[in-house]
Amino acid sequence: MILMAAILTYIRFMQAFSPTGNSPSLRLAAEDQQLQHRPIISIIDDDESMRCALKSLVTSLGFKAYTFASAEQYLDSPRLDDTSCLISDLQMPGLNGIELQQSLLAQGRHIPIIFVTAFPEERMRARAIEAGALGFLGKPFDSSKLVELIDKALEAGRET
């Protein structure tokens, strides 16, 4: 017993002093844990190139990104339960962004939403913000603004 306890203490001691660690299995386990804690950002855009670009940007920020080509696809996915922030296009075939927002609210899900649209209309912006959208960006947008909004979304998530 005492021997085992001593060994464990030694391992913890080693970990504490060398975070990168000499043991590869231990390092992977640590990264895994970190990965699980990475916030999930879901991206919905019917435009494939925009989808890829957003995914790349979000991943480069250190988040986990999932992409969907339509609102319906997202609503059918398990990401509905663990999305920390949703970035969605406004005009899409099928459900549009506002309809998606309504549908989520009807389900009682208050996921922070950032809308990005290639055709920003004041009327749509007002509707989206009124319904609780976190942000409304016109394409093309400065990515620092998106990053700001994502941070805001994650903060809001931490508070609740």
Partner 1 sequence: LKSPAVAQAAPHGQSRAEAAAPTTPRLLDGQQVLLSTLPPSRGQTRLALAIGLVLLAAFCATVPFATVPLRYTREFIPAYATAMFVISLITAALLYVQFSIVRSRALLAISGGYLFSTLMTIPWALTFPDLFEQTEIASTTWGLLSTLWHLGFALFVIAYALLKDNEPSTRWLRRSLPFAVLSSAAGVVIVDALVWLVTPTNASMPTTLALFERSYSYWNGLLLLAFLALALLWSRRRSVLDLWLMVVMCGLLIELCLIFLVGRRYVIGWYAGRVYFLISSALVLMILLSETAFLYARLARSVMAESREREARLMTMDVLSASIAHEMNQPLASIVTNADAAARWMGRPAPDLDEVKSSLEQIRNSAYRARDLIVSIRAMVKRDGRNRSSLDLNELVREVLVLTGRELQRSRVSVELGLAQHLPPVKADRTQLQQVLINLITNAIEAMRENKQPRILRVKSALQEPNRVLISVADSGPGIDAGIVDRIFNPLFTTKSNGMGMGLAICRSIIEGHDGRLWASTGAHGGAVFEFTLPAEADA
Contact set with partner 1 (CB under 8 A)? 46-50, 52-54, 56-57, 59-61, 69, 91, 93, 116, 118-119, 138-144
Residues 6+ apart with CB under 8 A from 127: 98
Q: Minimum distance between the CB of residue 47 and partner 1, rounded to whole angstroms?
A: 5
Under 8 Å between Cβ of 85 and 111: yes
Q: Minimum distance between the CB of residue 52 and partner 1, rounded to whole angstroms?
A: 6
Q: Minimum distance between the CB of residue 12 and partner 1, rounded to whole angstroms?
A: 27
Alpha helices per DSSP H over 61-160: 71-75, 79-82, 97-106, 122-130, 143-159
Residue 132 or residue 140: which is nearer to partner 1 going by CB?
140
Residue 67 or residue 84: which is nearer to partner 1 going by CB?
67
Residue 68 or residue 101: which is nearer to partner 1 going by CB?
68
Residue 40 or residue 53: which is nearer to partner 1 going by CB?
53
Backbone angles phi, psi at 137, to 5 degrees: -110, 135
